[in-house]
C-alpha cells in the first residue's frame, strides 16, 4: 500500500469513528425494529420488508445522523481538547476541510434520499439537518435549551418512522417519552463530566450557570416529576399498555435512579458509571420492541 493510499485509509477510519458508526448502526436497527414490531400489523413483516419508502427514510436518517455527529465534532474541537484530549487530537488528523466536505456530502445524500421518499419526509429531514447544525452552532451554548434540543435530536430519527406510518399510537408516546428522559438525563451527566471544558470555552450549560450541586438536585427533581407523570398517565388509561408501560417504567425508573445516585454524592467519581448505565439503558430501550414478538 502506497503512502497516499495508507493516509486515505487512516482518514476514512478516523471518519468512521467521528460519525460514531456504532451509534448510527444502532439507530438504523432501532428504526427497523420499530417498523417490524410496532407498526407491522398482525406481524405482516412482508409488508414492511417491501416498503421502499421506509428503506429510503432509514438510509436518509443514517446519513443525517452521521452528519450531525460530524458537525458536532467540528464545533466541539476546542472543548474536546480539554475534556477528551486523545479523542480531539485524533480527529484533528482528519482535517477541517475533509470533515466539512464529508458533512456536506452526507447531508446532500440524506435530503435527496428523503425527497425520493416523499415531500413530507424531505421537509422533515431538511428540518433535522438544519436543527442539528443550529444546535452545534448556537443552541448548545444556551442552558436548558442545549439539553432539551440534544435529547430531541436523539429521538428524531424514530419520529420520522412514525411520521411515515402516520398512525396514532399512545404506547409509542410512552416509549419515546421515556427514551427522551434517558437522553436528557445523560446530557446533564455529560455536562457534569465536561464542566471544565465548558467553562473555558464559554458553553453556558445548566451546570455552568447553576453550579454542579444545584444541577444535580434539579436533575433529580425533573426525574421525580417524570416518574410521577408516568404513574398519573398510566392510571388514566382504560386499558393496559402492556409492553409500552413496562419498558417506559423501567427506563424512567433508571433515569430516576441514576439522578438519585449522582445527587447523593458531592464528587465526580460516580459520573462515568452513571453515564455507562444510561448508555446501556438507551441501547436496551431501543432494542426492546423485539419483546413484542413474544407477546
The per-residue pLDDT for range 57-68, each reduced to its tens digit, is 999 999 999 999
Print the domain residue range for 193.
Answer: 168-295
Query: Does 34 fall in a domain?
Result: yes
Q: Is residue 121 located within the same domain as residue 191? A: no
Q: Looking at the whole model, is its pTM more than 0.85?
A: yes
Query: Does 291 fall in a domain?
Result: yes
Q: State the chain's maximal CA–CA distance in angstroms.
A: 68
Q: Is residue 219 located within the same domain as residue 276? A: yes
Cα torsion at 83, 87, 89, 90 (round to 10°)?
A: -170
Cβ distance 69 to 19 under 8 Å?
A: yes
Query: Does 189 fall in a domain?
Result: yes
- For residues 50 and 104, the model is more confident at 104
Q: Is residue 18 located within the same domain as residue 129? A: yes
- For residues 59 and 18, the model is more confident at 59
447544525: which residue's cell? 133
Cβ distance 73 to 82 under 8 Å?
A: no
Average pLDDT over residues 166-178: 81
Count of beta carbons in the 10 Å neighbourhood of residue 19: 22
Query: Does 150 fall in a domain?
Result: no
For residue range 190-206, what is the model confidence (pLDDT) as tens digits? Answer: 888 887 777 777 777 88
Q: Is residue 245 located within the same domain as residue 179? A: yes
Average pLDDT over residues 117-129: 92
Q: Is residue 137 located within the same domain as residue 172? A: no
Query: Does 162 fall in a domain?
Result: no
Instruction: Count up the domains in the chain and report the number.
Output: 2
Q: Is residue 134 located within the same domain as residue 11? A: yes
Average pLDDT over residues 278-291: 91
Q: Is residue 88 located within the same domain as residue 177? A: no
For residue range 209-246, what is the model confidence (pLDDT) as tens digits? Answer: 888 889 899 999 999 999 998 887 776 654 456 788 88
Query: Does 225 fall in a domain?
Result: yes
Q: Which residues contact 74 (CB under 8 A, 6 or more apart)?
A: 96, 99, 100, 103, 136
Amino acid at each position: 500500500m502506497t503512502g497516499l493510499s495508507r493516509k486515505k485509509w487512516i482518514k476514512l477510519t478516523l471518519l468512521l469513528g467521528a460519525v460514531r458508526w456504532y451509534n448510527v448502526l444502532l439507530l438504523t436497527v432501532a428504526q427497523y425494529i420499530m417498523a417490524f414490531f410496532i407498526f407491522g400489523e398482525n406481524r405482516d413483516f412482508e409488508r414492511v420488508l417491501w416498503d421502499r419508502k421506509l428503506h429510503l427514510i432509514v438510509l436518509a436518517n443514517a446519513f443525517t445522523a452521521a452528519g450531525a455527529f460530524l458537525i458536532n465534532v467540528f464545533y466541539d474541537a476546542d472543548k474536546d481538547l480539554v475534556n477528551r484530549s486523545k479523542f480531539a487530537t485524533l480527529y484533528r488528523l482528519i482535517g477541517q476541510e475533509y470533515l466539512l466536505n464529508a458533512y456536506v456530502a452526507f447531508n446532500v445524500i440524506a435530503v435527496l434520499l428523503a425527497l425520493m421518499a416523499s415531500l413530507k419526509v424531505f421537509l422533515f429531514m431538511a428540518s433535522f439537518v438544519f436543527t442539528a447544525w443550529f444546535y452545534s452552532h448556537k443552541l448548545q451554548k444556551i442552558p436548558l435549551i442545549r439539553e432539551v434540543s440534544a435529547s430531541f435530536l436523539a429521538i428524531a430519527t424514530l419520529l420520522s418512522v412514525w411520521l411515515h406510518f402516520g398512525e396514532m399510537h399512545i404506547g409509542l408516546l410512552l416509549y419515546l417519552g421515556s427514551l427522551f428522559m434517558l437522553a436528557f438525563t445523560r446530557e446533564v451527566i455529560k455536562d457534569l463530566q465536561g464542566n471544565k471544558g465548558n467553562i473555558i470555552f464559554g458553553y453556558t450549560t445548566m451546570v455552568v450557570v447553576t453550579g454542579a450541586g444545584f444541577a444535580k438536585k434539579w436533575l433529580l427533581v425533573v426525574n421525580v416529576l417524570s416518574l410521577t407523570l408516568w404513574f398519573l398517565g398510566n392510571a388514566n388509561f382504560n386499558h393496559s399498555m402492556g409492553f409500552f408501560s413496562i419498558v417506559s417504567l423501567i427506563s424512567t425508573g433508571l433515569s430516576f435512579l441514576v439522578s438519585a445516585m449522582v445527587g447523593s454524592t458531592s464528587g465526580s467519581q460516580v459520573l462515568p458509571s452513571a453515564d455507562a448505565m444510561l448508555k446501556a439503558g438507551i441501547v436496551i430501550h431501543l432494542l426492546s420492541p423485539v419483546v413484542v414478538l413474544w407477546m
